[in-house]
Each structure stands twice: as C-alpha cells, then as structure tokens.
Structure 1
C-alpha cells in the first residue's frame, strides 16, 4: 500500500473542531468566529487540461463555511482550503492559484447562486523560515512595462515552527 503524503495532518485537519480552530487562529486572531457545526466538507479534487492531457489536482483539506439564516436555510460564506508543506516549493503561488481558480470556476457553474471568497492557508512545517515565493510576482519574470497589466496573487504562509507564544495561545483544540 502506498503511503499518502501528509496523511496524518490531513486526517487531523479534517475534523471540524480542529479545522475551525486553525482558521480561527490564523484568520480571526483566535476569536471563535467559525464553529465546527458551521463547516461542511468541500470537494478537494479538480481537473484541468494541459499538454493535451487531463490532469488531477488535489487540495489537502477543504471545507465550506456556512451560516444559518433560519428555517434551516444555510448560506455559504466562504470556502477554506488548507495546504500542508514540509519543504519549500518555489511554485507554491502557482499551485494555490490553480486550486483557488478551480474552485472559483466551479462557482460560475452554479447559476443564480451567490459567489463567495476562496481562502487558502499554507501550513508550513519546515524547521527553517519559508525561503520561497509568496506571491505571483515573485515567481514570474517579466518587463516592468507589464506590471500594470499583470495581477499579483499573494498566498498565506503560516510558519508553524515560528509561531509566537501569543499566536500559539489562539489555538484551543488538539
């Protein structure tokens, strides 16, 4: 049997209480904004065509954040993805754009539905600080004249080994 990459992290993060705690700690500075019961599993696999072939890409963990509006109607507020990294990846901004873009594309296929943001956190477990690219401009090489026409895309790197004591105290689950 082939060992799946990041299996332990993915399994732990798939629990709603742990996932909510991670998002609350990094996005909402430890405030309990997201509750476990407001989360539902989201699709982690998407397909794209390149080089005349169909390819699959898979996020580590993803969940929808929903709100109750009464009458048991749930409104989707956001889509959160978590990517686990133990090593540098210079193309991480491109990978995150691929994941996020596929999710936004799926939103366009749902006629009449409200659109919601897609937020990805990269949990970096390396022992040294993240040394690689943090945005699209860091990855691309292009003439200065094109800057006004090239959209930048920043990724959210959370360096686990370098959390301050204050940041660690934002966590409440395992």
Structure 2
C-alpha cells in the first residue's frame, strides 16, 4: 500500500469526514447523517471458496466501513456505509465494489445463521425447514450497503462506471436480464466550485484544491473563507497528493491555505523569471562564442553546460536569424 493510499484511508476514517462525504453525495449537502450516529466496523470481508479445487478463503479489506443508525418513525434503521479511496483510476471499480458489497450481504446472512445456531442450543428460536436451509428467517432483513468512491485525482474518470459499461456486448435483450451495478463516485473535476460549498469539512477543501492544482494562478481560491482555516491533516494530504508545498506555523492547528498558495505561486513566478534571465544571459554568451568560431565542446566548457544544451541553443539561434 502506497503513502497516498495510507494517508487517504486514515483521513477518511474520521466519522465527520465520512458523514460529510455521504451527506454531500446522497443528501446534496444537507446534514442528515450525524457523525455521532456512525459506528466503525470490521473492514475485512471474506470470499468463501467453492468447488473441489477450492483452497483457503480469500480476505478482502475495504478502505473504510461504518454502520449508520437512523431513526425513522420511532424505529432504528441501520445502513452500512463504505468508502473506497482512489488516487488513480481503477478500470474495474464496478466489479470491485460489487464484490465488496456482495460479501457484506453474505456476511450478514452468515451472522444471522450463526446467531440462530447458538440460540437453538437453548431451543430459543425454532426454524422452519426452509429457514434452517438458508439460515435466514422469512421476516429477517438485511442492512443496505452503500459504497462511495472518493477519487483523489484531477483527471476525468474515464473508466467504466457500471458493470454494463464493462461488457463486450450491446444486445439490450440480453442485458436486461443481467443485473447492472453502478458505482457511486465523487469526481473533483466534475464538481462545480459553487457545489464545493456544500461540504462542511475540509474534505471539500482537499478535493477542490486537487481540482485546481494545475491552474496557473490562484484566482480560484481568492475570497474563499474556507481555505483560510484548513486543518493541518487536510493540508498534509493536499501536499502529498498534489506536490504542493503549503506550509503553516507549527504551533497552529489550522493553516491559511489562501495566503500560502498565493505566496507559493508568486515565489514560483519570481524563480521562473530569475531562471529566464539567467538562461538569456547564457544564450547571449553562446551567441558571442559562435561568432568567435568556437566549437560546441569548447562553448559547453565555457558556459558549464552539457553539449546537448548548447546544440539546442545554437539550433534556436539559427532559426531566429533565418
């Protein structure tokens, strides 16, 4: 697992961040899912082998998994919320998520079966022959599983967004009998800047910065108060993913990303201008040495540059003089 994988998994493990992501995606930013109503659960799923050649069970580890307790009409309702964090496009994401969700449903059925077996020792619950066969009672219900992909990249997601998108056939008559599975995806580049205001945590700041990381200037960030107080963990994640060098006071818990980013752009511009001046001076020397009929090796030694560099400059100067 790479550094970015570990960092995004850690960042998305916070209850308030998970709640914010799902509130943005499912409820358009309305704060329906409360962090205090989330409970972390085991992220390990097991794929049981079948057939004569089956070997040991295969373990699959989700990035993050929580149970959300919601109260509807006085009754508690539970939903399993999972996230998969991607800094690169996964072209089989639909199959990967479908497997994870299916394993979670199978796990719920298996847990129900185990609980009845334990209770049957004391004859607490009687199962019909059909219920005994499946290990699941007629009135039993499963907890819905919702998996959300958080894409920490600035490119457009050009991979399949459903299982049907991955098939090699387009026969609608066949496909209507094949259940589809679509991925839920937050794609930074597809979220408008106004929509980012629906995030209530710095997850929105991280994703919006990723979207604009290749911009030539900092106009997009000016006037956005949310970037004036960004938590250090979010800033560290931004630096790791984008290669930015946003620094803050070590004693402060938050960082003014607006000021730091604008200063970074200004320093880069000043450095670029300085390097441009130096390059111009070197090219002037090379031109003078050419007029003195010096060879490329001799010129390279004079300006302390590789011969290939000198050749490129000579070619450039020749093109300008023609």
TM-score band w.r.t. shorter chain: 0.7 to 0.9
Matching residue of 1:48: 47
- Structure 1 stretch displaced more, 43-52 or 98-107: 43-52
In the alignment, does 2:91 pair up with 1:64? no
The structure with more radius of gyration: 2
Q: Select 2:158's aligned residue among 120, 125, 131.
A: 131
* Structure 2 unaligned spans of 5+: 113-135, 203-322
Distance 1:55 1:4 in 2: 24
Q: Select 1:173's aligned residue among 190, 201, 212.
A: 201
C-alpha displacement of 1:162? 3.4
In the alignment, does 2:80 pair up with 1:79? yes
Deviation by residue 1:34-61 (Cα, 9 ceiling, x = unmatched)? 1111100122111114573432111111
C-alpha displacement of 1:3? 5.1
Distance 1:126 1:134 in 2: 16
1:65–1:108 CA distance, 2 compared to 1 (3 A)? same
Give the number of aligned pairs: 170
Higher strand share: 1
Deviation by residue 1:114-172 (Cα, 9 ceiling, x = unmatched)? 32211111111122100000001111224724223211111111102432123211111
Distance 2:178 2:14 in 1: 38
State the secondary structure of the residue aligned to 1:88: coil
Contact conserved, 2:4 with 2:87, CA < 8 A, in 1? Answer: no
Matching residue of 1:149: 177
Distance 1:97 1:13 in 2: 20
Contact conserved, 2:94 with 2:161, CA < 8 A, in 1? Answer: yes
State the secondary structure of the residue aligned to 2:194: helix
- Structure 1 stretch displaced more, 45-54 or 7-16: 45-54
Matching residue of 2:22: 23
Distance 1:30 1:101 in 2: 28
Distance 2:160 2:145 in 1: 20
Distance 1:140 1:48 in 2: 23
Higher helix share: 2
TM-score scaled to structure 2, two decimals? 0.48
* Structure 1 unaligned spans of 5+: none
State the 4+ residue runs in structure 1 displaced beyond 6 angstroms.
Answer: none
Matching residue of 1:13: 12
Distance 2:158 2:34 in 1: 33
State the secondary structure of the residue aligned to 1:149: coil
1:168–1:149 CA distance, 2 compared to 1 (3 A)? same
Distance 1:91 1:3 in 2: 19
